[in-house]
Structure formats: C-alpha cells, structure tokens
Amino acid sequence: MVRKHFGLTMSVIAGGVAVAAISVSSAFANHPVLVEGNCNGAGTAPRTAVTPGTCGDYDGDGRVGTAEDTDEADRVFGTINAALGAGTGAAMGSGANQNGSVTIVASGVYPEIVLIGQPVGGFTGGTPTPGNVTLQAAPGVEANIDAVLAGEPGTTPRQGAPGIIVNMPSNRQVVIRNITSRNWTTGIEVIGNSRVAINTSRFENNTNYGIHAIDSSRVAVSNSEVHATGFRLNPATGNFPSDANRPDPGSGIEFEDRSTGTVFNTVVTGSFGAGISDETDADGSPRSSNVCVAQVNVFDNNPNFEGVALRARASSCVRDSDGDFRFKVAKRK
C-alpha cells in the first residue's frame, strides 16, 4: 500500500529566511553558528527586545528572535532558518549557508518550518549546493520546533506542514541531535537521497508521522522518542483523531519507497497507526531487509510493528555487501 504524500497544504512559510546571493568566500561557510533562546511559550507574545542577558539572550545585546538575525555579523542568530542560511542585512555572510553546525545554546520555542539542504518547492530556504549540516541543541537546552505558538502569525497553516524537511544529495550527511519537533503533520520529513542521523530527539503530537523517510533516503534513528502521533486537539485545526480529522496514517516512524534505515534504542508510544512501519515493499518487490529495528520500546501503537523484521535480541544491525541487513546478536553471559 503506497502511502507517500509529501503534498503540502501551505505555500508561504512563516519564519523562513530566503537564501540570498553571497560572495564566494561565504558560500562555503562550514563554520559553526549559534541560535539564541527565547521566552516564547504558552501565554506569551513573540518578542524581539528584552532586558540584556534575559529571555535566552545569549550574547547579552537585548535582542532575540528576528531582531538577532540581522543585527551584526557575530554568527549568533535568533531563528534556526536564519542560522542555516547565508545571513542577511548586517549579518550577511555569517550564516552557515547549509554547511556546518548550528547549535541552539539556550532554551526556546521556534515556530518555523526548518529546511535543511537543497530547496523544496513551496518552502523558503535551502541552497542548490549544500554541505554537511548538524542541527543540535546544547546539553540541557530544550529546543522545541513547534507549529503552535499563541500570538505568532501562521500558527494555523503551520500545522498543515512538516516541522523539519531534509533534502540533501547522497554525498552529504545531516545530524539532528537533541531537538523536539511537535504539532506538525510530520515531525521530520526526509526526502530525496538524504543521509540523516537522528539522535536524542523527540517527536510529539504530529498528525501523520513522527519520522518519515521516503524516496532513496537513509535514516538512522537512535536514543530518541516518538509519542502520540495522530493525536492533537487544537481549536483552529480540530480534534485528531475524529471522523472529521483522521490521521493519514498516524505512524510513529515509517519508511517508504526505496528508503532504508535503522531504529535503535528508541521509544515509540501511543501512535494512532503503526509504531514503526516498513512500507518499502509496497511496490510488490519485497524489501523487508531495508529496515532494521533493534532494542526498541514500543507500546500502545496500532499495531506496534508493521512489515518490520524485528529481532528482539539483536544488539546492532550490519548491512552486508548484498545490501541486506544482518542482525548481530549479543552473546549471553
């Protein structure tokens, strides 16, 4: 059953930053950049000016959010997409330009659709020639990429789009570490030939998928959590699940098309659909060894596994020269 549906319901992305033409010297940036925190949360309005050193103001200049994105070329930004981009205004040339590490250094809520890699139709951001990208939150930092933020324009249409989109060529690598993505249609959508490692991250209350790998992407998920996929109640978008709002399909983690991957030491609970699903054999040519699942905790999904070759005692997954996964079993002491 082919379920791939990357068609989206919005074309203008709130919080995105367009990549501008820049000089050759900054086009291959490969330098680390930082993203400040903020005081965004329930009952607060987005702000750009704060008492210096408060509200996640990491560099102590009294600016957060979009005001931090263009203030100076200090490689400190207020939004994730601006940090991933080339930099605009006074910050021209100081962004990662989709090549390098982006580290969130103070806790905050980021109501923006994050695009990593090459441009995707209908979305803002990306560059035709990206490098390797790491998006991470520093230890102890709560970085919540959330579609819902009271008072922030675009909250309703954002809930009809993915939170994170990765579209990379096969010769590039992406690492997502210590990030939360919630209240989207899909927590993270990995497309094209992308190679992505997702570690210590959380995906909650996304209506269709927590983690979705399609096309020829390769995704390794480890030490992460996916909860309550297909379940969300919001006055603007309605009650999921219900007769009027049925998750499609509401799977925690799903692989489709020619995608491959591993899920290791990860928790998946409370999905409307399958907890972990391997749909890579949907075209009639079985590829059940495309996905390896080992040492996972799955509970209260419907079902817990769908099309997955699970080995309960497997300690790791190794892919052989034929392209099949072989399960390595730890010896009992």
List pLDDT tens digits, range 96-136.
999 999 999 999 999 999 999 999 999 999 999 999 999 99
Q: In the prediction, which pLDDT does 303 show? A: 96
**Residue 21: is its pLDDT beyond 60?**
no
- Coil/strand/helix, residue 284: coil
pLDDT digits (tens, 9 = 90+) for 161-205: 999 999 999 999 999 999 999 999 999 999 999 999 999 999 999
pTM: 0.88
Q: Residues near 171 by Cβ (< 8 Å), separated by ≥ 6?
A: none
Q: What is the mean pLDDT of residues 14-21?
A: 34
The four Cα atoms 195, 119, 256, 135 give a dihedral, to 10 degrees, of 40
Contact status, residue 42 vs residue 53, Cβ threshold 8 Å:
no
68: left (phi over 0), alpha (psi -120 to 50) or beta: alpha
**Residue 13: is its pLDDT beyond 50?**
no
CA angle 292, 179, 99 (to 5 degrees): 90
Separation of alpha carbons 93 and 99, rounded Å = 12
**Residue 214: is its pLDDT beyond 50?**
yes
Q: In the prediction, which pLDDT does 328 show? A: 55
CA angle 77, 82, 87 (to 5 degrees): 90
Q: Read off the pLDDT band of 319 (50, 70, 90).
A: low
Q: Which of 78, 73, 32 is nearest to 58 (CA)?
A: 78
Separation of alpha carbons 46 and 90, rounded Å = 22
Token pair, residue 250, equals 């509401």
Judge if the upstream peptide bond of residue 139 is cis by omega within 30 degrees of 0.
no
Q: In the prediction, which pLDDT does 236 show? A: 78
DSSP state of 332: P
Q: Which of 251, 255, 281, 215 is nearest to 1 (CA)?
A: 281
Contact status, residue 261 vs residue 291, Cβ threshold 8 Å:
yes
pLDDT digits (tens, 9 = 90+) for 252-285: 999 999 999 999 999 999 999 999 999 996 555 5
**Dihedral sign of CA atoms 133, 138, 140, 144 in order:** negative
**Residue 10: is its pLDDT beyond 60?**
no
Q: Which of 151, 84, 142 is nearest to 111 (CA)?
A: 151
Q: Which helix (H) or strand (E) holds 318?
A: strand 314-319
**For 39, how many CA atoms within 13 A lie in the half-sphere containing its CB?**
17
Token pair, residue 140, equals 């102890």
DSSP state of 148: -
Q: In the prediction, which pLDDT does 237 show? A: 82
pLDDT digits (tens, 9 = 90+) for 32-82: 999 999 988 755 666 789 999 999 999 999 999 999 999 999 999 999 999
Q: In the prediction, which pLDDT does 234 show? A: 83
Q: What separation in angstroms does the CA of 202 have from each of 9, 43, 206, 267? A: 24, 23, 11, 10
**Dihedral sign of CA atoms 9, 10, 14, 18 in order:** positive
- Strands 297-299 and 314-319, bridge-based pairing: unpaired
Sorted by where each starts, the structural domains of the chain and their CATH numbers stand as: 25-111 (no CATH), 142-329 (2.160.20)
Q: Read off the pLDDT band of 11 (50, 70, 90).
A: very low
Choice among 15-24, 95-104, 207-216 with the minimum mean pLDDT:
15-24
Radius of gyration of the chain (CA): 20
**Residue 1: is its pLDDT beyond 70?**
no
